[in-house]
Amino acid sequence: MNSGTNALLGGANLTTLQAHILEQQQRNPEASGTLSWILSALSISAKVITSKVRRARLDDVLGSVGHENVQGEQQQKLDVISNEVLLRLLGGREGVAIVASEENEESVILRSAGAGDRKYCVLFDPLDGSSNLDVCGGVGTIFSILRFDQSASKPEDSLLQPGAQQVAAGYVLYGSSTVFVLSLGQGVDMFVLDPSIGAFVRVAQNLRIPAASKSYSVNEGNRRSFPVGYQRYLDWAQEHGYSSRYVGAMVADLHRILLKGGVFMYPPTAKAPAGKLRLMYEANPMAMLIEQAGGKALVAPGERVLDVVPSSIHQRTPLVIGSPSEVDHVMAHLV
């Protein structure tokens, strides 16, 4: 690479997401390439959804479709579109045995796995924070990848694994730029979509979350129905000069915390006593990313999110996640 080209690239080698995935594959002598193909499908899905989000107002695909999803929430038009994009692209990959979406009541069993086959289960939230689209706010896709468990009594039971068993997790943030954050269990790397070349370009490796930052992210509109320990924490944080930052899309809130530090909370409430976030589609993948970056993700004092054994694919959970010192401050008030 000549000096002029190197300067244009910011003084660094140009590494795309695809090249990064292949690098990781070559480092693992047991890798078959199957996981790489799945990540490729997720990358293509992110590009398609980026285009849909950018043109949402022009194509008149904002707003609700007029009915609820399995979670009892109003489905947005782009929820449905994004869900279909992911289902179709992942369904075309031979290595995918099962896909499960937050938007669908049942998982989709695509292929059985014979002895020795290496196949995977992919779970996703197609468009987290989709109600933000009407006001041009940040939204995102969250995904989790598990190995297909051939010993399970039923194929769909392969999904009911604790988050610690994830082989990969990540999210895509559709904001001022499209950001793809990925962990394959050996750190966290970040990529940004360069529209001029149509590829995700690596912009950061081995991200580390700041150990502390005086900010918290929570929907304080529900404060009166939070358990008393969370209310005590909020009183303490405000007395100690903490700032409140809340976007209303988990991807956007946790992306900021990953880079700047702080804590994100979704406590139990009177309306959602078991918590509102989805363990398998939101909490587990985000917990893997944050832990890989040096942070913490807990359900309650001493209860790690990634150790929870799910009983259903739509199980809900409370969550406290972010900088290790800030998570500890919250937990100290819950005891």
Shared-domain flag, residues 150 and 287:
no
Check which CATH number belongs to the domain holding 251 and give it: 3.40.190.80
Shared-domain flag, residues 200 and 226:
no
Look at residue 222 and tell me if it is in a domain: yes
Look at residue 321 and tell me if it is in a domain: yes
Shared-domain flag, residues 190 and 224:
no
Q: How many CB atoms lie within 10 A of CB 3?
A: 8
Look at residue 4 and tell me if it is in a domain: no
Shared-domain flag, residues 254 and 153:
no
What strand order describes the sheet that includes 108-109?
108-109, 96-101, 120-128, 139-147, 168-174, 178-183, 188-194, 199-204
Residues 35, 220 contacting (CB under 8 angstroms): no
Shared-domain flag, residues 173 and 64:
yes
Shared-domain flag, residues 182 and 255:
no
Shared-domain flag, residues 160 and 242:
no
Q: What is the pLDDT along the chain (335 residues), one digit of tens a residue?
A: 343 333 344 445 689 999 999 988 888 766 678 999 999 999 999 999 999 998 888 887 776 765 656 565 667 888 999 999 999 999 999 899 999 999 998 899 887 665 456 799 999 999 998 888 888 889 999 999 999 988 787 888 899 999 999 999 999 999 999 999 999 999 999 999 999 999 999 999 999 999 999 999 999 999 999 999 999 999 999 999 999 999 999 999 999 999 999 999 999 999 999 999 999 999 999 999 999 999 999 999 999 999 999 999 999 999 999 999 999 999 999 98
d(CA 216, CA 214): 7
Shared-domain flag, residues 190 and 228:
no
Check which CATH number belongs to the domain holding 195 and give it: 3.30.540.10
Range of the domain at 228: 215-334
Among the three residues 156, 185, 204, which one is the final residue of a domain in this structure?
A: 204
Look at residue 210 and tell me if it is in a domain: no
Q: Locate 108 and state its tokens.
A: 């989709």
Q: Look up the pTM and report it.
A: 0.91
148: nearest Cα among 94, 89, 95: 95
d(CA 317, CA 308): 10
Number of domains in the chain: 2
Taken as a whole, the chain contains a residue count of 335
Q: What is the 3-state secondary structure (H, E, C) of the chain?
A: CCHHHHHHCCCCCCCEHHHHHHHHHHHCCCCCCHHHHHHHHHHHHHHHHHHHHHCCCCCCCCCEEEEECCCCCEEEHHHHHHHHHHHHHHHCCCCEEEEEECCCCCCEECCCCCCCCCCEEEEEEEEECHHHHHHCCCEEEEEEEEECCCCCCCHHHHHCCCHHHCCEEEEEEECCCEEEEEECCCCEEEEEEECCCCEEEEEECCCCCCCCCCEEECCHHHHHHCCHHHHHHHHHHHHCCCEECCCCCHHHHHHHHHHHCCEEEECCCCCCCCCCEEHHHHHHHHHHHHHHCCCEEEEECCEEHHHCCCCCCCCEECEEEECHHHHHHHHHHHC
At residue 72, the pLDDT reads 59
Look at residue 151 and tell me if it is in a domain: yes
Shared-domain flag, residues 117 and 263:
no
At residue 151, the pLDDT reads 79
Look at residue 123 and tell me if it is in a domain: yes
Look at residue 244 and tell me if it is in a domain: yes
Shared-domain flag, residues 193 and 318:
no
d(CA 270, CA 272): 6
Long-range (24+ apart) CB contacts under 8 A made by 286-289 are: 286/142, 286/169, 286/171, 286/250, 286/254, 286/319, 286/321, 287/163, 287/319, 287/321, 288/144, 288/163, 288/166, 288/169, 288/183, 288/185, 289/169, 289/170, 289/171, 289/181, 289/183, 289/188, 289/254, 289/258
182: nearest Cα among 173, 174, 195, 191: 191
Look at residue 1 and tell me if it is in a domain: no
In sign, the C-alpha dihedral spanning 251, 252, 257, 258 is positive
